[in-house]
Structure 1
């Protein structure tokens, strides 16, 4: 192989807001650079159906299959918009990495292997875009004893690690995860807990907005001490990594139960403040418990990178650590995860492993994903 190749990465996360598409150039030596970004929102009907499919329900096999078709169409629309903007044709893209929409994530449960389910009709996506699709990127890691998540630490190590500093990369999507990048070359990572999923759900219920812009509503309230302590006592937060989680555990029904048991009269704005504090605490506490060290920098990406109140709380809980966003390293926060799945597609095409066993708990390195040709 000579020269460089273009890849697309498509990511829709537990925030359930839409899909980020990122165009990435990969050189022969493995160096990569994000070139462009497009975003396509889910409509209210699809968003509601995806949220409902996180829990058992009537006729869910048919509904999940049809939702997979709908996701392929949204993904294709995002790809087409990006190609038009960049004046590219599908034949110029080597492959696209498509995460799909996670609706269940139960690694290691039930039969020792468990399962993870990301909805996506990959053949339909290949037909709609004319581009080869690398998909089902988590299952191979589960097959060798891993969690299948988080998958981004391997990408973070490739593009954000520095030999001069111990760096944590914090992705705050619906769920928060950290990548641990030590200056000596060691690396790891794990899911911390809820990032935006509870805050987004709560403000939508009480304010009718999709998210708390800048954390402004949370800043008007006070964290409720009793409720907060009940939330942080959830057994997941004491679980030793490797670990991963999702809406299977952290959802509004679970939150309602915790409020009813510990703070039935709490005001909605104080709940929002408590949820923001939980999102900050689960990061700081998990670093202290499971990755203690002289961390010098915390680089934040995902939607949470724009929550100023959350970033301020992280600075307060992590004294001495420089808290900034991945923008400072030339990678805009909303492009990081899309770029990661473009990178995973490149790794699959080149026959290279994409997982990081230190983060997922897999017994070894594996080439991730399945391939559907254009």
Structure 2
């Protein structure tokens, strides 16, 4: 079954896509990664998304407009991909409602009907809401994917994704599991670069490489109470936004280079501290943050004895990891299998995730799977295939 995964994360810079052809044999699910790509948001749409994100305020007219425009953008991105039997669309998170450490609601925009109408195939969407309704954090949902991907690796293993927010999945001994957001990855760095230069991100970490870490500011940022909260926990731009950063950084009057170096150290220290805490032997790393050599160099220094391995080595392109993961979540939903990992999100139990929007014809889904896969095998498409 070919499933197209679509994802736009907290960086809200574009739509990641991955078409994976899934086939089950025994307890192993094999995915042939046939396509990965990214479709940048139109600058006007990206600006509209940014204007609606916290701490900004918006109204219901704008929410309706964004739901439609993001849905159309996702449909256009999907139409550029190879044909699939099913689409699983994450949409764009506009708000993640967290109070006193508990997630009370979550909102992803990008109306799935636009995708279903354009492609004519069923679309799984709104996956996070079901986990939240069962008492979970709604994040990180990729834990179900990570745990199976890590299953064949020896020792204590983890998967770290460095998107706008960094999330860590830990596979412990005896099948125990834990997953949570460790803090900002590129969210604060991107906001600082955009405000200072107008560019969307620090390409190749050049600004950060030219700067020096401001240790007093770093210490203030590390005092954020979120880092001390127990898992399961999740966060986003509701907390880590430009206004939050300015509140701490403004008194120091740092130039862009020193500020970026300090924020790179914040990402590396908050993620590295959790890697050390769990005494991980191997960490599979993915996400746009892996392209920032300053962040990765600082992370290696702070990761203790853990070996950092790019997810590409396991058949998962680093830039498309979450799109591949949502393709997997769509496959699970289509086969009637739960994707919530209660120990990771805090949900009351395993749940089948998402709502299904039919395509143009009658809704036909596969027969429910008799058992869930115990291991994943990801392989790239053979050349010329």
Partner of 2:68: 69
Partner of 1:322: 307
Partner of 1:299: 284
Deviations 1:67-111 (A, max 9, x none): 11111122112211112xxxx4xxxx331110010011014669x
Alpha carbons of structure 1 residues 113 and 325: separation in structure 2 relative to 1, 3 Å: closer
Runs of 4+ residues deviating >6 angstroms: none
Q: CA RMSD in A?
A: 1.8
Partner of 2:43: 44
Tell me, in whole angstroms, the C-alpha distance in 2 between the residues paired with 1:234 and 1:247.
14
Q: Contact conserved, 2:55 with 2:238, CA < 8 A, in 1?
A: no
**Secondary structure of the equivalent of 2:85?**
strand
Partner of 1:104: 95
**Secondary structure of the equivalent of 1:215?**
helix
Tell me, in whole angstroms, the C-alpha distance in 2 between the residues paired with 1:116 and 1:198.
21
Q: Contact conserved, 2:275 with 2:306, CA < 8 A, in 1?
A: no
**Secondary structure of the equivalent of 1:242?**
coil
The range that moved more, 113-122 or 188-197, is: 113-122
Q: Contact conserved, 1:38 with 1:81, CA < 8 A, in 2?
A: no
**Secondary structure of the equivalent of 1:99?**
strand
Alpha carbons of structure 1 residues 335 and 122: separation in structure 2 relative to 1, 3 Å: same
Counterpart check, 1:285 vs 2:273: yes
Q: Contact conserved, 2:165 with 2:187, CA < 8 A, in 1?
A: yes
Tell me, in whole angstroms, the C-alpha distance in 2 between the residues paired with 1:176 and 1:113.
17
Deviation at 1:183, TM superposition (A): 5.6
Q: Contact conserved, 2:163 with 2:186, CA < 8 A, in 1?
A: yes
Query: What does residue range 204-243 of structure 1 map to in structure 2 within 5 Å?
Result: 204-243=194-233
Tell me, in whole angstroms, the C-alpha distance in 1 between the residues paired with 2:14 and 2:312.
21
Deviations 1:54-73 (A, max 9, x none): 23666521111111111112
Compute the TM-score of the two structures, normalised by the length of structure 2: 0.88
**Secondary structure of the equivalent of 2:252?**
coil
2:2 corresponds, among 3, 6, 9, to 6
Partner of 2:80: 81
Tell me, in whole angstroms, the C-alpha distance in 2 between the residues paired with 1:212 and 1:175.
16
Partner of 2:31: 32
Counterpart check, 1:335 vs 2:320: yes
Q: Contact conserved, 1:237 with 1:286, CA < 8 A, in 2?
A: no
**Secondary structure of the equivalent of 1:28?**
strand
Tell me, in whole angstroms, the C-alpha distance in 1 between the residues paired with 2:297 and 2:56.
40
Deviations 1:257-307 (A, max 9, x none): 1123xx43222211111110001111012334xx422x1112211101111
Counterpart check, 1:159 vs 2:154: no
Q: Contact conserved, 1:108 with 1:147, CA < 8 A, in 2?
A: no
Tell me, in whole angstroms, the C-alpha distance in 2 between the residues paired with 1:160 and 1:217.
34
**Secondary structure of the equivalent of 1:223?**
coil
Tell me, in whole angstroms, the C-alpha distance in 2 between the residues paired with 1:9 and 1:66.
23
Partner of 1:175: 165
Q: Contact conserved, 1:213 with 1:307, CA < 8 A, in 2?
A: yes
Tell me, in whole angstroms, the C-alpha distance in 1 between the residues paired with 2:256 and 2:55.
28
Tell me, in whole angstroms, the C-alpha distance in 2 between the residues paired with 1:39 and 1:113.
29
Alpha carbons of structure 1 residues 207 and 98: separation in structure 2 relative to 1, 3 Å: same
Q: Contact conserved, 2:212 with 2:262, CA < 8 A, in 1?
A: yes
Tell me, in whole angstroms, the C-alpha distance in 2 between the residues paired with 1:243 and 1:149.
8
Q: Contact conserved, 1:72 with 1:122, CA < 8 A, in 2?
A: yes
Segments of 5+ residues of structure 1 without an aligned counterpart are: none
Q: Contact conserved, 1:134 with 1:370, CA < 8 A, in 2?
A: yes
1:270 corresponds, among 258, 267, 280, to 258
**Secondary structure of the equivalent of 2:127?**
coil
Deviation at 1:207, TM superposition (A): 2.4
Partner of 2:357: 372
Compute the TM-score of the two structures, normalised by the length of structure 1: 0.91
Alpha carbons of structure 1 residues 232 and 57: separation in structure 2 relative to 1, 3 Å: closer
**Secondary structure of the equivalent of 2:325?**
helix
Q: Contact conserved, 1:163 with 1:183, CA < 8 A, in 2?
A: no
